[in-house]
Amino acid sequence: MSNRWNSGIHDRQLKEQICEIGRRIYERGFAAANDGNISLRVGENAVLCTPTMICKGFMSPEDICAVDMDGNQIAGKRKRTSEILLHLTIMKHRPDVKAVVHCHPPHATAFSIAGEPIPQCVLPEVEIFMGEVPIAPYATPGTPEFAETVLPFLKATNTIILKNHGTVSFGKDVQDAYWKTEILDAYCRMLLLARQLGRIDYFTETETRELLELKQRLGFDDPRFHLEDCDLCANNLLREGYQEKAPEPTAFPAPPSYPCRLRSNGQAASGDAASEPDIEQLVQAITDQVMDALTQSA
């Protein structure tokens, strides 16, 4: 065992960082009782992680354990979390990822339970800092199959909803990974509140394009910069990752007319704008038909 590896798994400051994120998760209601888990890579073959069966709001550095990249426990008095395989799968396929946070934020998890895709082109912060958030298929938590559900989506996102389970977010450190969860749940809460008012307004094509240009200037990547003929707001950038049919929007239908499509060079593709019927006109037409039928029956 190298000195660097040994110092990493016994670094009290790093363990305290994990405990602090655990407290935030618990205080925000993102993890009830013993829910959730956190990990932090500290060496080529060493990862600090939370133990199983512990409330994330009341951990101490002494509770944190460590595993190698195969999931074998190498340090700690308590048993490592049973869902560490999910964290390790993400780290193995994304060498840039140093930390992973998995929990059950209630508003985002509501979308998970309903199988409702997260709409895009609504909030600037979400467009710039997150982009599309896919829904990974369900598998029994803690199993190798569960860990593999996220594989098709890792190349294009840092935040994934786990079907009928919760969320997982990842980044350069534990705070970065946690922030993504907080942004996602706040966004989902706003969507649900707006839906209670009756509808949500989407960005126009111009507004969406300006946000993408800002995102590029800030140095953030986005699949929409690289894919041929992708819709700006159609939630289909990651469809190839779905083994079965991609989730379709029900509570939050796509805009009546999608913004025009974007080629990989950043230019709009001519003639590619979708021609969906105007919702108000459709409702009016149905209403007229119903009224005609009632008049005839009378």
For 194-248, the pLDDT digits (tens) are: 999 988 899 988 898 899 899 999 998 887 787 666 667 755 556 666 766 778 8
Kindly report the length of the chain.
Answer: 298
Domain boundaries defined on the chain: 3-197
**Contacts for 68-76: CB closer than 8 Å, 24+ residues apart:** 69/44, 69/45, 74/9, 74/46, 75/9, 75/10, 76/51
> Is there a catalytic annotation at residue 132?
no
- Among the options 20, 62, 83, 240, which is catalytic? 83
At 140, is the secondary structure helix, strand, or coil? coil
DSSP codes, 263-298: -TTSPBPTT----PPPHHHHHHHHHHHHHHHHHHH-
Question: Could you confirm whether domain 3-197 is CATH 3.40.225.10?
Answer: yes
Mind listing the pLDDT tens digit for each residue in 96-129?
A: 999 999 999 999 999 999 999 999 899 999 999 8
pLDDT band for 162, please (50, 70, 90 cuts).
very high
Contact predicate 74/68, CB 8 Å: yes
Residue 264: predicted pLDDT: 41
